[in-house]
Amino acid sequence: MTEAVRALALDVVSDVVCPWCYLGKKRLEKALALAAPLVVTVRWRPYQLDPTIPPEGKSRAAYLAEKFRDPARVEAMHRDLAALGAAEGIAFRFEAIAVSPNTLDAHRLSRWALGAGVQEAVVDALFHAYFVEGRDVGDRSVLAGIAGACGMDAAEIADLLASDADCARVEEEIALARRIGVTGVPTFIAGERYALVGAQAPEALAEALAAIAARQDADSAP
């Protein structure tokens, strides 16, 4: 008799301007390969590291100066992240980033991409656009272009972005994440019950997901 394949739902609470979230995504991809034959359904959920940024964004240099007040600290942080990124196949280009964007619209796009079955591609494209290409992912024309490149209708997405469609829903999801205790990203919520915080090493994440799936099966056994 063939053993049933285990399945697990995984919600990843993330912000597209979080470099640790990009690292977390690449490590998650490796973890999912290691966890096979466990079938993991991944859904990307919104979070805003700084919802006070205006819709048009802020100068990246000014934003970092306000937040960290120490250029040497920023340089060291970027250098460390670049080394970690290289190990995961990410060519971080922090010097190319001119704007710190408000990410509400990017999260709206991610939500629509989930419904269209292309969320994974869109999330990856958003990270790449911001961290590798230095593009403004708060710019609606950039977002519509990303949507089109991932197989969505760019004109339809542009129209949706010009409206307030799903703004309230995304804001509610972000508020919910804060209410359940999410204070940093990425946060991986497995089986709607178990939280794993931070850009986990692939082996550790794969092991944790397998253990959670086994516990979930045991809890549901008659």
For residue 108, the one-letter residue type is R
- Domain extents for the chain? 7-220
Whole-angstrom Cα distance, residue 109 to residue 158? 10
Nearest to 127 by CA among 34, 119, 60: 119
Q: Dihedral of the CA atoms 179, 204, 122, 185 (nearest 10)?
A: 30
Q: What is the pLDDT of residue 4?
A: 64
Q: Tell me whether strands 187-190 and 39-46 are parallel, antiparallel or unpaired.
A: unpaired
Residue with tokens 């597209």: 16
- Decide if 160 contacts 108 (C-beta within 8 A): yes
Q: What is the pLDDT of residue 132?
A: 99
* Dist CA 151 CA 144 (whole Å): 11
The CATH topology of domain 7-220 is: Glutaredoxin (3.40.30)
pLDDT at 220: 76
- Burial annotation 105-141 (CB, 10 A radius, 16+ → b, else e): bbbbbbbbbbebebbbbbbbbbbebbbbeebbbbbbe
DSSP, res 94:
G
Residue ranges of the chain whose pLDDT lies below 70: 1-4, 221
State pLDDT tens for residues 142-194: 999 999 999 999 999 999 999 999 999 999 999 999 999 999 999 999 999 99
